[in-house]
A = this chain, B = another copy of it.
Amino acid sequence: MTAPEHLALITHRPDGVAVGFQQVDATRPHISVLDAGPVRGDGIFETFSVANGNPQALERHLERFVASARALDLPEPSLAVWRDAIFAVSAHFADVDEAWLKTALTRGVEAGPSASGSAPEGTAPTGWVYATESPDFTAARTVGVRVVALDRGLRSDIAQSSPWLLAGAKTLSYAVNRAAQREAARRGADDVVFVSSDGLLLEGPTSTLIVRQGQRLITPPPSLGILAGTTQADLFEAAPLWGLTPAIEPMRASELASADAAWLVSSVRHAAPIRAVDGAPLTVDAELSERMNAFLRGRRA
């Protein structure tokens, strides 16, 4: 890793309350092999973009971080401490146009096999804030990405019926998301749009789907068991300025191929227009893509 990088470790009391942070050498190992992060993917994260030292959509991300913690029965993140750590790490990137920053919180060191999944008493969670320069996403933002639609295997009512499946929580258990992206590469595509087992459009493995139909911008509702998108939320606030009407509603899988345009939007890559679905071309709305990305880059909170 040659890019400058910065890391802060959150200090937790044994009862799970964060009391401070410490900036440490990011090139050194800081996680135990007994931590629930590496051994169980048992934790949560958020990824922020940082524009000239300013973490973007900060409060939206923190709100989702708290919601994810609740979904996993993790101690509630002490936001004052996390904010301080985020600002301290972000400050190193004041001269950098675009950096990315990750917050992560795990259940902490495990005591080994047990009949129940509860954390052993006295085990503090593990938390950190890491940031480094972003790569160049110009191609994805202008030329666009080719996607494949992949069945995520889950029904669209799973968030209601089976909360233990953690649909809608941003967990560290992303092996399936990574496997889906490798499957996309095998099929000659760049990214994935997940579809529910009952045929509804969901989200990308690390992004939110937005579809344009005429003057409407549509995204699927979080009630389908998907993440509430922070970047999508910011774009939907701006949409009326561009003469567009935002809508949150379910869409059939077939509505992607017949869309006037579509995007995968995410915190760091911003708005990537979809230029092909399962090998069939989709029109790239270059003007609106540019408008979206200029807006997203320009945010200072």
Q: Residues on A close to B: CB < 8 A?
A: 1, 7, 26, 28-43, 45, 47, 71-73, 100, 102, 104, 106-107, 109, 111-118, 128, 130, 132, 134-135, 140, 145, 150-155, 158, 161-166, 169, 171-185, 190-191, 197, 205-206, 268-269, 272
7 contacts between A and B (CB under 8 A): A26-B34, A47-B113, A72-B175, A113-B134, A115-B145, A115-B190, A173-B176
- Measured CA separation A179–B269 after assembly (Å): 30
Please name the 3 residue pairs, one residue from A and one from B, whose CB atoms are nearest each other, closest first.
Answer: A41-B41, A117-B181, A173-B173
Whole-angstrom distance from the CB of A84 to the nearest CB of chain B? 18
Contact A117 B179 (CB under 8 A): yes
Whole-angstrom distance from the CB of A226 to the nearest CB of chain B? 14
Contact A166 B190 (CB under 8 A): no
- Measured CA separation A128–B32 after assembly (Å): 11
Q: If the complex has contacts A72-B179, A153-B162, are A38 and B40 also in contact, measured as CB distance less than 8 A?
A: no
Which B residues lie within 8 Å of A171 (CB)?
Answer: 41, 173, 175
Which B residues lie within 8 Å of A183 (CB)?
Answer: 163-164
Which B residues lie within 8 Å of A112 (CB)?
Answer: 100, 132, 134-135
In the complex, the chain B residue whose C-beta lies closest to that of A171 is B175
**Which of A33, A106, A112 has the most chain B CB atoms closer than 10 A to its own CB?**
A33
Contact B164 A33 (CB under 8 A): no
- The answer, among B31, B163, B179, B191, for a CB contact under 8 Å with A165, is B179
Contact B39 A104 (CB under 8 A): yes
Whole-angstrom distance from the CB of A99 to the nearest CB of chain B? 10
Whole-angstrom distance from the CB of A101 to the nearest CB of chain B? 11
Whole-angstrom distance from the CB of A45 to the nearest CB of chain B? 7
**Which of A28, A164, A165 has the most chain B CB atoms closer than 10 A to its own CB?**
A164
- Measured CA separation A182–B173 after assembly (Å): 16
Contact A106 B185 (CB under 8 A): no
In the complex, the chain B residue whose C-beta lies closest to that of A268 is B113
- Measured CA separation A35–B191 after assembly (Å): 22
